[in-house]
Amino acid sequence: MDTKSGIEIVSENIISVNENLSFLKSSEHPLSADVYFIKGEKHTYIVDVGSNDEAFAIINSIPDKKVIITHFHEDHTGNLKRLEIPDEDVFVGNYAGKYLGKGTVVGEPMVIPDGVKIGIVPIPNSHAKGSLCVTVDEEYLILGDAFYSNVKGYNVSLLGEEIRLLESLRFDKVLMSHKERPHSREEVFSVLNKIFSQREKEKPYIPVYDD
């Protein structure tokens, strides 16, 4: 048992962030996103469910769970169809709800107090429409893939909206899927503002791509 996170460890791929937050590292083959575990007093909140068997086995073994899906891509949602969990215990953005045909849609920011303060916020971004981000105790921001662009680059309008939203949220450190180390608030804003400064008049996209 990982006494810091309260999550039963069945894999060396789980990393503890603090006493209430840990995550299962992403994998490449098959492609599966990071899966985050937030330990509340009554429930364990799982942010994204991944798509590989390891993630499924761990998630399936956790009682009293609720799931938050950051966006609809398969590497973040693949295991959802294998999990027996009612719609009221799955929080999704508007597009993910339509795409997956499951979950309770979060259309406005909401807060869940459960020993930890969990914020669920719709976030505009260039990577995937209808995305959500999650704050934990106003210290950590779980950003999913919302930091990244799509194949065209960063949509100028959406990037501007994303920066303004992030400026309004309280957090010190950022966890983004497919990258293990936390990033500082300052680091994230530095990169996003630099990209935004490269916008050109009458061009809807900034041709900067995921690394």
Helix (H) or strand (E) holding 105: strand 104-105
Domain count, the chain: 1
Place of tokens 């039963």: 8
What are 78-124's pLDDT values in tens digits? 999 999 999 999 999 999 999 999 999 999 999 999 999 999 999 99
3 in a structural domain: no
User: How far is the C-alpha of 140 from the C-alpha of 149, rounded, in Å?
Assistant: 22
CATH number at residue 138: 3.60.15.10
Residue 107 DSSP SS3: coil
| pTM across the whole model | 0.93
Paired strand residues for 113: 117
DSSP strand pairing (205-206 vs 183-184): unpaired
pLDDT tens digits for the chain (211 residues)?
444 445 555 578 899 999 999 999 999 999 999 999 999 999 999 999 999 999 999 999 999 999 999 999 999 999 999 999 999 999 999 999 999 999 999 999 999 999 999 999 999 999 999 999 999 999 999 999 999 999 999 999 999 999 999 999 999 999 999 998 999 999 999 999 999 999 999 999 999 754 4
DSSP strand pairing (65-68 vs 90-92): parallel
Burial class (CB in 10 A: 0-12, 13-18, 19+), 88: exposed
Residue 52 lies in domain:
14-199
**Cβ(88)–Cβ(104) under 8 Å?**
yes
81 in a structural domain: yes
Residue 30 DSSP SS3: coil
User: How far is the C-alpha of 43 from the C-alpha of 144, rounded, in Å?
Assistant: 21
2 in a structural domain: no
Residue type, 72: F
144 in a structural domain: yes
